[in-house]
Amino acid sequence: MARKTFYVYRWLNYCWYPDYKIRLFDRRQARWGGINPHDRVEVSSGEVRTLSGDILHYSFDSLSDHLRTLDHFTEIGAREILARGKRVTVLDPVTHGFWTFFRLLIVKRGFMDGFAGFVVAVLSGVHAFVKYSKVIVEKRKSLQSQDS
């Protein structure tokens, strides 16, 4: 089903919509998987059908709530990147941050969601920027401690 998000003061019709999520599944043909914070249902056999209607998702009550969550999820995301040993360069925070902002605002037409869509695009870009920056900082901290 599509997930429709209520963000701070309005429903988002573009930047985070439709956000399809599998929520009904046969445990013999699918299982819960993925990597935190992006857990998901992984289907091993059988077909996935789209149901009509929306799952209503009440995301953040305020910008402060979004920023607190952003800090928490970037910690989790950075740890996952480090655990996978993914190569990250100093350009990655900028490129991932800009692409996330551009994709949500322009490609997904988040500008049609007005100011809320602009804020979502900016903070989503910041999320990507901060996550990759945390990876770089942690790698540099570990290099510093090895040199000491």
**115-146 pLDDT, tens digit each:** 999 999 999 999 999 999 999 999 999 888 88
pTM, full prediction:
0.87
Which run of H or E residues covers position 27? Answer: none
Pairwise pLDDT comparison (38 vs 102), residue with the higher score: 102
Joined together, the tokens standing for residue 132 give: 């990759």
Helix, strand, coil percentages, rounded to 5, for the chain: 50, 20, 30
Decide if 8 contacts 61 (C-beta within 8 A): yes
Decide if 116 contacts 14 (C-beta within 8 A): no
16, 60, 100, 87: CA torsion to nearest 10: -130
Give yes or no for residue 35 having a pLDDT over 80: no
78, 38, 4, 15: CA torsion to nearest 10: 40
